[in-house]
Amino acid sequence: MRTPIVVLASLVTTTAHAEKVGVVVTGEATVQPQLAAQLERWLHDHGREVVPGPLEPEAINTLIDCFVLEDLGCARSVVDVQAKAKHVVFTRAEMTQNADGTRNIAVTGYWFQKDHDAAAERRTCAKCSDAMLRNTVDELMLALVHEPPPPMPRDEPAVVLEPRDDGGMRRWLPYGLIAAGAGALVAGGIMIAIDEDPHRTGKQEPRLRDTATGGVVLGIAGAAALGAGIYFWRHDRTTGPVAAVSGDGGTIGWAGRF
């Protein structure tokens, strides 16, 4: 039976408030020392403290039996009851030799937290060098603990979008509308006044000036524009009534930003 490695002592000094994690490494004996060292390095680099001897040898054997039976509930109960740390990383290494002398290493990892379901991940390192195994362990651990990305530097300048300065246009808009509205009202009145219709008595021109309809439409549009100008002048807002006149009619409505 291959003897599992348990990290018996932390090689680095950590703060008292760091999250405490136990490490248990099983599987291929030739890979265990390197895998244990890399796991401990990763935990230290990410602000965790490695707890020496998180499980007694008998508990580790029971934990291995649970994994042989593929019973995660059994494994969780061992950690919940017997682990000296709230968190335990259990890893198993499997190695195969290639014909060219290289090795393939598969690492299965479980992250246990007391009173929680275990997280499991597996990574394979093909033709695995020491550096490649280190990267494999890093990927495995990031996936197990769902490590968030580092925060943005606090000294980065914030991007603030300033609104476009259209104060000049807004100041002149009411006066333009008032002037246009007054002009349209005058023009509409003239068109109504010069309108001719066949019911009049007396001599008629060969062609009638039927301008009353256009004068009424233009007058309404002028009144709307005049009202909008007065409204903008009094309230200085970006919404208000609008009017449009064409050769055969007109439209009155409300436009702006809401």
Instruction: Classify each residue of 223-242 as buried b or exposed e, where b means 16 or more C-beta atoms within 10 Å of its C-beta.
Output: bbbbbbbebbeeeeeeebbb
| Per-residue pLDDT, 14 | 40
Rounded Cα gap, residues 40 and 162, in angstroms: 49
- Give the three-state DSSP class for 165: coil
29 or 238, higher pLDDT: 29
Q: Are the CB atoms for 178 and 233 separated by under 8 Å? A: yes
- Which of 18-22, 53-57, 189-193, 204-208 shows the lowest mean pLDDT across its residues? 204-208
Q: Where in the chain is the domain with CATH 3.40.50?
A: 5-145
pLDDT tens-digit map of 186-206: 666 676 666 665 555 555 555
CB neighbours of residue 7 within 10 Å:
22
What are the distances in angstroms from CA 145 to CA 29, 124, 150? Answer: 25, 18, 14
Could you please state the CATH topology (level 3) that the domain comprising 5-145 is classified under: Rossmann fold (3.40.50)
* Whether the predicted pLDDT of 159 surpasses 70: no
pTM over 0.75? The answer is no
